[in-house]
Amino acid sequence: MPYSPEHAVQTRARIVESARRLFNRHGFEQVTLDQIMAAAGLTRGAFYHHFRSKDELYASAVASFVTCNPFAIQTADAAQKLRDPQGLARMLVELYLSDEVLDNVDLHCPLYALPSDVARAGLEPQQAYTDLIRGMGHIYRTALKGVRDAGRRAETMVALCVGGMVLARTTNDPGLRKSLRASARHQALALLKVE
């Protein structure tokens, strides 16, 4: 008896979630399809029913962060959506650069967890990565509506948040980890001020 379309959607989601976690922890090159499928509780043969290639799966894993990240979950729980764009943008900066997110590798955003991998990846993963950058920038631009240099400010805020986390992840000095993120947070929030 064939599986239902709903079962196929759920299975695909399990594979994507398994891949996202493993890619975050080990990187694209270090993770095999066998590892991904085993972590999803499936056989390797099932992979090709859902994806054409590891690159396609990688793109899906990067894109999935839009719905499984702490910010999306928190805003959905708070039912805030885009009612208060300034508050939403501040919350994104605070959460993105938080200890909670830094300490939980499974929650790491591909923008700072996987930049080297994506730079070497194919067009699909790069497009998914680009969409994440644009999505984050959109939240900041919306908060800066009416500000003459809103686009530049929004891109600078993205760079501060992502850069702050990239550097914080690479140092073994806890004090530096904290101060890098605090400096990025301070500057990003200063850019949000509409004068």
Tokens of 5: 């379309």
What pLDDT digit, counting tens, does each position of 78-94 carry?
Answer: 554 557 888 888 988 99
What pLDDT digit, counting tens, does each position of 82-126 carry?
Answer: 578 888 889 889 988 999 889 988 878 888 888 888 888 888 888
pLDDT attached to residue 2 = 64
The domain ranges of the chain are 5-54, 67-192
Cβ-proximal residues to 166 (8 Å cutoff; 6+ apart), any chain: 112, 115
Architecture of the domain defined by 5-54:
Orthogonal Bundle (1.10)
What pLDDT digit, counting tens, does each position of 165-194 carry?
Answer: 999 999 999 999 999 999 999 999 999 987
Q: Mean pLDDT, the chain, as a whole number?
A: 87
**Contact call for residues 58 and 28 (beta carbons, < 8 A):** yes
Q: Which long-range contacts (CB under 8 A, 24 or more apart) does 3-8 make?
A: 8/49, 8/50
Query: How far is residue 48 from each of residues 11, 69, 124, 127, measured CA to CA in Å?
Result: 12, 27, 17, 22
Architecture of the domain defined by 67-192:
Orthogonal Bundle (1.10)
User: Helices 54-68 & 70-78, crossing angle to 10 degrees?
Assistant: 40
Sign of the alpha-carbon dihedral angle for 191, 127, 98, 92: positive
